[in-house]
Amino acid sequence: MKKVSWVRTGLRLIVMVFIILSLWGDSAYALLGKDSINGTLTAMDRKILRIAHRGASGYAPENTMAAFERARALGADMIELDVQLSRDDHAVVIHDTNVNRVSNAKGLVRNMTLEQLQKLDVGLWYDPLFKGEKIPTLEEVLERFGGKMPLLIEMKSPAIYPGIEQKVADLLRKYRLDKPSEEIPEVIVQSFNSVSLQRFHKIMPSVPLAVLVSNPLELTDGRIGEFVQFAQYVNPSLDAANKDNIQKIHKAGMKVFVWNVKHMLDMALLQNSAVDGIITDYPDLL
């Protein structure tokens, strides 16, 4: 066998052993050593939240009741979902700013009324098994899951939805989800748009906020110092979640949820980096 093939085989073996140890439980952590920040705690001693990205979207169509129910059935600790506004200003749960990818219609969410949006089938594109799934309203989600299952609510593209912060806050108040935060908050509101988050914070300071970050270079000491004025979490993409950035966020007193983590090996490495939550399409993998 050529030298290159031997190297490849060796690498594959190392990855396989690591995954088997991860599955075994805390053996992987024994291999990785003690927690780098706390010194004495191992990763297994900490509670790392398993957050279902757009619901358990690896198993059911994203941002539907089916995906949220699947997340609950799989034992996820929290459900992540995306919120936008319809033409008649209802808070609706959908990721893209148009309906093209997840339905058989075309058009912007902003240009469609709630009635038009809820006529669409958003399950069929994923699998015929999910035919009939509708775009939920935020209110429907709060009614079914509020207070029963922690929710990570993303205000999606708030710049094109003036008033979305007030709308979300009003609904949280209606369902009494505006309480001061607990160990695992009932609700966290997140956005890539820090101006929108600051606006939300003024309206409802009791609800914890998370700043989403996809560019690792954005996590300067200066920006982290700004975030800590209104947010309790900084949620970086997997690319932006290096050990240095995670430590900087923790040092500033905020927690870290990393997205969107799809592979077991990344999950194991993140657990050892002391993250507080992992946002994933496959919450049962963690």
Where in the sequence numbering do the catalytic residues fall? 53, 95
| 8-state DSSP, 180 | P
77 binds ligand G3P, rule: CB under 6 A = no
80, 133, 178, 276: residue in contact with ligand G3P (rule CB under 6 A): 80
Taking phi over 0 as left and psi of -120 to 50 as alpha, with beta for the rest, 99 belongs to alpha
48, 66, 279, 286: residue in contact with ligand G3P (rule CB under 6 A): 279
First-last CA distance in the chain: 36
276 binds ligand G3P, rule: CB under 6 A = no
Residue number, 84 or 272, with CB nearest to Ca ion: 84
| DSSP string across 209-242 | EEEEE--GGG--HHHHHHHTTT-SEEEEBTTT--
Containing 118, the helix (H) or strand (E) segment is helix 114-118
259, 276, 278, 283: residue in contact with ligand G3P (rule CB under 6 A): 259
82 binds Ca ion, rule: CB under 5 A = yes
Q: Which of residues 144-203 bind ligand G3P (CB under 6 A)?
A: 154
Residue number, 177 or 210, with CB nearest to ligand G3P: 210
Residue number, 151 or 279, with CB nearest to ligand G3P: 279
d(CA 211, CA 194): 6
Binding mask 178-217 toward Ca ion (x if CB under 5 A, else -) reads ----------------------------------------
- The footprint of ligand G3P on this chain (CB under 6 A) covers a number of residues equal to 10
CB of 95 to ligand G3P, least distance (A): 6
d(CA 216, CA 237): 8
Tokens of 201: 């914070």
Residue number, 17 or 160, with CB nearest to Ca ion: 160
Residue number, 82 or 178, with CB nearest to ligand G3P: 82
Distance of CA 3 to the CA centre of its chain: 42
**Span near Ca ion by CB under 5 A; candidates 4-12, 108-116, 120-128, 148-156:** 148-156
Long-range pairs for 116-122: beta carbons < 8 A, 24 or more residues apart:
117/86, 117/92, 122/61, 122/63, 122/64, 122/94
53 binds ligand G3P, rule: CB under 6 A = yes
Residue 141, phi then psi, degrees to nearest 5: -70, -45
Number of residues assigned to the chain: 286
| 8-state DSSP, 98 | B
CB of 188 to ligand G3P, least distance (A): 10
154 binds Ca ion, rule: CB under 5 A = yes
Residues that bind Ca ion (CB under 5 A): 82, 154
> What does the binding site for ligand G3P look like in residue numbers (CB under 6 A)?
53, 80, 82, 95, 154, 212, 235, 259-260, 279
